[in-house]
């Protein structure tokens, strides 16, 4: 049994329905699925970051007694599948034919009776490579002498992918020309990786007799994948079924289509047997969708007393060897142009240049809300740099510049319309919760002691971050991916006994959709959440929609769910009017599951009674259909704009460079909370992400493009040891355009927290005159920063 705060209203704390199976080990992940006669695939990967393929000899592998097929780029060329489209209208090699363009790129695929034999046989494939110089530093990618990576493309201009701008350049330049103060800072958001605990994988089962392809795959976007398979492989779309079962974390890593998926499909077609492919940890870290890799240069114009007037930004975006990012077509830099953040500016402008490098493709992942991570980090770092230069308190500087409640809905200088917010209230709450003045007093005492020559102990630092997100992609007139509009369907059936089945197009990777979507229906219809089954992640069973990423599920599918439940409620009203023999206009919804006669609420019918009547022989008025089932497609009118105020307190040991996060206060506003426990879980996860990125995570490469550290020995995930006990607060500013006033929250804390941690560490190092330091602030990095500081003694 699950417990609910207010069972009749649906919203509130409730244990997750799906946990009943997860905590008993009864989840079904892709690797748990076993089909009769199933074979196993393994991918041979390039050891070089950039090399011409001279020859591939597969004879020894084919001779392995347990090997059923060896597939190379040549095999795929015959099927016109050697290249596939990416979600950004680029192409990506499924298996390399001409050259390899990043270390870990897919070169061949072996299908064998078991996975060990498949892996063994990889070593029997002999590939002759001719190494080429690699492009590793994105800032060098456009140099005239840089080797050209994508010589497969016609009319390709060096390693250039796109130039993109937003905002008003002339107005911004004018504001800078007038400015009393200008600060400038280069800020790197390094390459990091979402590293979901379950790696990517698929089980392809092509049935030659029916022509049907069933694809078990841990994808965040099953419907979009089905459509892309249909377009790429030429299979009819109704003959493709994508089943995305339980997923052990996605974080954007499971949005793209990876070569291994296509190889599994081809393997199944070639062998006539189901073929499973699961990557290992190193493959996941080396070759699948990474995150960030933005080289940003920001400038802030302000008055001497700290009123920010304009922001100007230039970015070199490293997209790796194939432009495989998943984001709405119109926005090659995602939603980076929300970089004006939470502040009231006169003007803003950004220029983003995307380049190819000899690294794995990707860029949009790791709870980024389409690059809002980069944007929020940049502006929050810049505001602290301004505070540093002006000698102002960073909390006061933010208070002075935050948008005020009466400015909403707010049109931003780069084209967004923020739906609702009360920013100063959230920041004040966070400052109160942390006891800001008290911590500053403690810090002042330490700094005094330090200045007097006693340098024992650690240096305390306080970092603030205020962020605004834009989530819920998106309005069809502005947003599509590969031409597919970003609306989502929902279907709701109510059985005769009043139990319901909700079918949604989004796919949970751990966010608890089976619970929260049931709660939305419960809220609208008064059917208890335990009586509502939520079906998701199977294209044969659910309506079309673009999937779960960009924290779009609640803003889009959550809205679709409320709307479809309201449709059912209206149908129920007509049936109730027949039951009660009163006009439908005389009925009102009591908010707790009953249609009642206006003015005499004891006369009414529960939704369960109405459901039974809707399936019975009760005579219904002309034009009223039986049953209560309904469907809908929701096209959001705008994005939702959640926001938050975070304060981090750290203690830095200047002797070792060690950073300890002492406290972390997070005030989030995601509008109406469907399930506060789940929201808090999402925030906890995102805060841990922030500590990971700020202090320990980096996918690094040497100058030849070798990936340094494709294992959890080098790529560190934060644990409870590194994380403090989170202190959460909330404000609730409902979204005015969302049917239940909810905004997305799944990525908020990942977006907002890195800046708070970095600002805190830089603040701690103020006695050394440190104004900025790039992530990750590992002990070595902190130590380097101190060594390079002007005030080191
Ligand atoms: N929710 C709520 N009230 C709100 C907003 C959300 O109760 N006002 C609930 C939702 O009903 C849902 C959860 O919080 O159960 C997250 O909702 P939402 O913000 O809509 O985000 P999505 O469901 O679209 O999830 C995507 C988001 C993304 S893009 C990444 S990346 C990320 C994240 O979710 N990946 C995750 N959180 C994750 N959490 C887990 N466990 N695993 C991942 O892979
Ligand atoms: Cu940018 S990671 Mo989430 O959108 O799946």
| CATH number of the domain to which 565 belongs | 3.30.365.10
Residue 480 lies in a domain: no
Higher pLDDT, 270 or 233: 270
Across the chain, mean pLDDT equals: 96
Mean pLDDT of 260-279: 98
Cα 601 to averaged position of ligand 2 atoms, centre (Å)? 47
Q: Report the CATH number that the domain containing residue 279 is assigned in CATH.
A: 3.90.1170.50
Q: What SS3 state is found at 62?
A: helix
The domain total for the chain is 3
Name all residues whose Cβ lies below 6 A of ligand 2: 220, 250-252, 255, 364-369, 549-550, 747
Nearest C-alpha neighbor of 134 from the set 104, 94, 100: 100
What predicted TM-score, i.e. pTM, was given to this entire model?
Answer: 0.97
Q: Write the pLDDT tens digit of every residue in 684-712.
A: 999 999 999 999 999 999 999 999 989 99
Residue with tokens 């809300």: 369
CA 367 to ligand 2: nearest atom: 2
Q: What is the pLDDT of residue 479?
A: 96
Closest protein CA for atom 36 of ligand 1: 251
Query: Is 2 a residue whose pLDDT tops 50?
Result: no
Ligand 1 within 6 A of CB of 556: no
Statement to judge: residues 622 and 574 lie in one domain: yes
Closest protein CA for atom 29 of ligand 1: 549
State the pLDDT confidence band at 4, using cuts at 50, 70 and 90: very low
Statement to judge: residues 217 and 88 lie in one domain: yes
Please state, in angstroms and rounded to a whole number, the distance separating the CA atoms of residues 554 and 575: 30
Ligand 1 within 6 A of CB of 194: no
% of the chain surpassing 90 pLDDT: 97
Q: What is the pLDDT of residue 6?
A: 43
Q: Write the pLDDT tens digit of every residue in 597-636.
A: 999 989 999 999 999 999 999 999 888 999 999 999 999 9
Q: Write the pLDDT tens digit of every residue in 655-691.
A: 999 999 999 999 999 999 999 999 999 999 999 999 9
Ligand 1 within 6 A of CB of 516: yes
Nearest ligand to the CA of 326 is 2
Cα 593 to averaged position of ligand 1 atoms, centre (Å)? 27
Residue 270 tokens, joined: 């070639």
Residue 710 lies in a domain: yes
Cα 744 to averaged position of ligand 1 atoms, centre (Å)? 7
Statement to judge: residues 598 and 666 lie in one domain: no
Q: What is the pLDDT of residue 716?
A: 96
Nearest ligand to the CA of 14 is 1
Nearest ligand to the CA of 689 is 1
The residue out of 287, 303, 336 marking a domain boundary is: 287
Cα 290 to averaged position of ligand 2 atoms, centre (Å)? 11
Ligand 1 within 6 A of CB of 368: no
Mean pLDDT of 246-252: 98
**Among 290, 511, 552, 673, which residue has the most ligand 1 atoms within 8 Å of its CB, making it the best to mutate?**
511
Q: What is the pLDDT of residue 793?
A: 63
Q: What is the pLDDT of residue 232?
A: 86
Cα 168 to averaged position of ligand 1 atoms, centre (Å)? 34
Query: Is 561 a residue whose pLDDT tops 80?
Result: yes
Statement to judge: residues 231 and 120 lie in one domain: yes
Residue with tokens 């049109």: 411
Cα 475 to averaged position of ligand 1 atoms, centre (Å)? 19
Statement to judge: residues 539 and 591 lie in one domain: yes
Please state, in angstroms and rounded to a whole number, the distance separating the CA atoms of residues 300 and 349: 11
Mean pLDDT of 361-365: 94
Statement to judge: residues 558 and 592 lie in one domain: yes
Residue 240 lies in a domain: yes
Query: Is 88 a residue whose pLDDT tops 90?
Result: yes
Residue 556 lies in a domain: yes
Residue 323 lies in a domain: no
Domain that holds residue 662: 369-473+638-780
What separation in angstroms does the CA of 28 have from each of 25, 252, 275, 678, 697?
9, 20, 17, 21, 30
Statement to judge: residues 512 and 557 lie in one domain: yes
Q: What is the pLDDT of residue 60?
A: 98
Please state, in angstroms and rounded to a whole number, the distance separating the CA atoms of residues 475 and 288: 29
Residue 106 lies in a domain: yes
Closest protein CA for atom 41 of ligand 1: 510
Burial class (CB in 10 A: 0-12, 13-18, 19+), 130: exposed
Residue with tokens 């990876």: 258
Residue 315 lies in a domain: no
Residue 297 lies in a domain: no
Statement to judge: residues 655 and 628 lie in one domain: no
Statement to judge: residues 95 and 237 lie in one domain: yes
Q: What is the pLDDT of residue 234?
A: 87
Q: What is the pLDDT of residue 316?
A: 98
What separation in angstroms does the CA of 781 have from each of 43, 184, 527, 698, 766?
36, 22, 55, 12, 16
Mean pLDDT of 101-115: 98
Q: What is the pLDDT of residue 709?
A: 82
Statement to judge: residues 676 and 589 lie in one domain: no
> Please, are residues 553 and 578 in contact by the beta-carbon 8 Å criterion?
no
Nearest ligand to the CA of 508 is 1
Q: What is the pLDDT of residue 333?
A: 98
Residue with tokens 């020309």: 177
Nearest ligand to the CA of 551 is 1
Statement to judge: residues 665 and 743 lie in one domain: yes
Q: What is the pLDDT of residue 655?
A: 94
Residue 193 tokens, joined: 């990786």
Query: Is 483 a residue whose pLDDT tops 60?
Result: yes
Ligand 1 within 6 A of CB of 513: yes
Ligand 1 within 6 A of CB of 671: yes
Statement to judge: residues 427 and 575 lie in one domain: no
- What letter does residue 206 receive in the DSSP assignment? E
Q: What DSSP string describes 402-469?
A: BPPGGG-SEE-TTS-EE----HHHHHHHHHHHHTHHHHHHHHHHHHHHHHTT---SPEEEEEEEEEE-
Q: What is the pLDDT of residue 233?
A: 85
Query: Is 377 a residue whose pLDDT tops 80?
Result: yes
CA 373 to ligand 2: nearest atom: 1
Q: Write the pLDDT tens digit of every residue in 416-428.
A: 999 999 999 999 9
Nearest C-alpha neighbor of 520 from the set 634, 642, 367: 634
Cα 748 to averaged position of ligand 1 atoms, centre (Å)? 9
Closest protein CA for atom 37 of ligand 1: 746
């Amino acid at each position: 049994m699950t417990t609910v705060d207010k069972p009749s209203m649906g919203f509130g704390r409730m244990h997750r329905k799906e946990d009943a199976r997860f905590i008993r080990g009864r989840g079904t992940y892709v690797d748990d699925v076993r089909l009769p006669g199933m074979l196993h695939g393994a991918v041979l990967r390039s050891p070089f970051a950039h090399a011409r393929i001279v020859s591939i000899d597969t004879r020894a592998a084919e001779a392995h007694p347990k090997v059923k097929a060896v597939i190379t780029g040549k095999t795929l060329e015959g099927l016109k599948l050697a290249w596939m489209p990416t979600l950004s209208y680029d192409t990506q090699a499924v298996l390399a034919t001409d050259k390899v363009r990043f270390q870990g790129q897919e070169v061949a695929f072996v299908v064998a009776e078991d996975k060990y034999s498949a892996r063994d046989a990889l070593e029997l494939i002999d590939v002759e490579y001719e190494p080429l110089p690699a492009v590793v530093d994105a800032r060098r990618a456009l140099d005239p002498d840089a080797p050209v990576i994508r010589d497969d493309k016609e009319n390709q201009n060096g390693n250039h992918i796109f130039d993109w701008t937003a905002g008003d350049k002339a107005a911004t330049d004018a504001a800078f020309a007038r400015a009393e103060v200008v600060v400038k800072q280069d800020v790197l958001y390094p390459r990091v990786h979402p590293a979901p605990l379950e790696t990517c994988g698929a089980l392809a089962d092509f049935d030659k007799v029916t022509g049907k392809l069933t694809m078990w795959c841990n994808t965040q976007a099953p419907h979009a994948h089905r459509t892309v398979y249909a377009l790429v492989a030429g299979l009819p779309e109704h003959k493709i079924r994508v089943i995305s079962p339980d997923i052990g974390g996605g974080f954007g890593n499971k949005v793209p289509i990876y070569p291994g998926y296509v190889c599994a499909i081809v393997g199944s077609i070639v062998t006539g047997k189901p073929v499973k492919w699961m990557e290992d940890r190193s493959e996941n870290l080396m070759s699948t969708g990474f995150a960030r890799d933005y080289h940003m240069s920001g400038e802030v114009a302000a008055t001497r007393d700290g009123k920010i007037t304009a922001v100007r930004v230039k970015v070199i975006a490293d997209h790796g060897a194939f432009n495989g990012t998943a984001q709405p077509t119109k926005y090659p830099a995602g939603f980076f142009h929300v970089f004006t953040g939470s502040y009231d500016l006169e003007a803003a402008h950004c220029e983003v240049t995307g380049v190819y490098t000899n690294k794995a493709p990707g860029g949009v992942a790791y709870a980024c809300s389409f690059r809002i991570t980069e944007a929020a980090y940049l502006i929050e770092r810049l505001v602290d740099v301004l505070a540093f230069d002006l000698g102002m308190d960073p909390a006061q500087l933010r208070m002075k510049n935050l948008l005020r409640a009466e400015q909403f809905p707010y049109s931003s200088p780069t084209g967004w319309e923020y739906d609702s917010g009360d920013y100063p209230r959230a920041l004040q709450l966070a400052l109160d919760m942390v006891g800001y003045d008290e911590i500053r007093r403690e810090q002042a005492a330490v700094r005094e002691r330090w200045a007097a020559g006693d340098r024992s102990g650690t240096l305390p630092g306080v970092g603030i971050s205020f962020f605004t997100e834009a989530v819920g992609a998106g309005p069809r007139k502005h947003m599509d991916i590969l031409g597919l509009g970003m609306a989502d369907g929902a279907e709701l059936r109510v059985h005769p006994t009043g139990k319901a089945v909700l079918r949604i197009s989004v796919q949970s990777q751990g966010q608890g959709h089976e619970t929260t979507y049931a709660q939305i229906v419960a809220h609208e219809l008064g059917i208890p959440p335990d009586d509502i089954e939520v079906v998701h992640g199977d294209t044969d069973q659910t309506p079309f929609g673009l999937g779960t990423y960009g924290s779009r599920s609640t803003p889009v599918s959550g809205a679709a769910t409320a709307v479809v439940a309201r449709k059912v409620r209206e149908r129920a009203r007509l049936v109730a009017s027949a039951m009660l023999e009163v006009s439908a206009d005389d009925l009102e919804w009591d908010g707790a599951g009953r249609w009642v006669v206006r003015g005499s609420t004891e006369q009414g019918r529960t939704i369960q009674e109405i459901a039974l009547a809707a399936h019975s022989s009760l005579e219904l008025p002309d034009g009223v259909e039986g049953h209560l089932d309904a469907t809908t497609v929701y096209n959001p009118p705008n994005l939702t704009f959640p926001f938050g105020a975070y304060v981090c307190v750290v203690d830095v040991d200047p002797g070792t460079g060690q950073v300890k996060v002492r406290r972390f206060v997070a005030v989030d506003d995601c509008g109406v909370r469907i399930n506060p426990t789940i929201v808090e879980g999402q925030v906890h996860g995102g805060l841990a992400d922030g500590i990971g990125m700020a202090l320990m995570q980096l996918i690094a490469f040497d100058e030849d493009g070798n990936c340094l550290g494709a294992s959890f020995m080098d790529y560190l995930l934060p644990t409870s040891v590194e994380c403090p006990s989170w202190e959460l607060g909330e404000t609730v500013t409902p979204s005015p355009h969302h049917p239940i006033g909810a905004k997305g929250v799944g990525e908020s804390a990942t977006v907002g927290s890195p800046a708070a941690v970095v600002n805190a560490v830089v603040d701690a190092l103020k006695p050394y005159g440190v104004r900025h330091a790039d992530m990750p602030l590992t002990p070595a990095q902190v130590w380097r920063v101190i060594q390079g500081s002007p005030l080191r003694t």
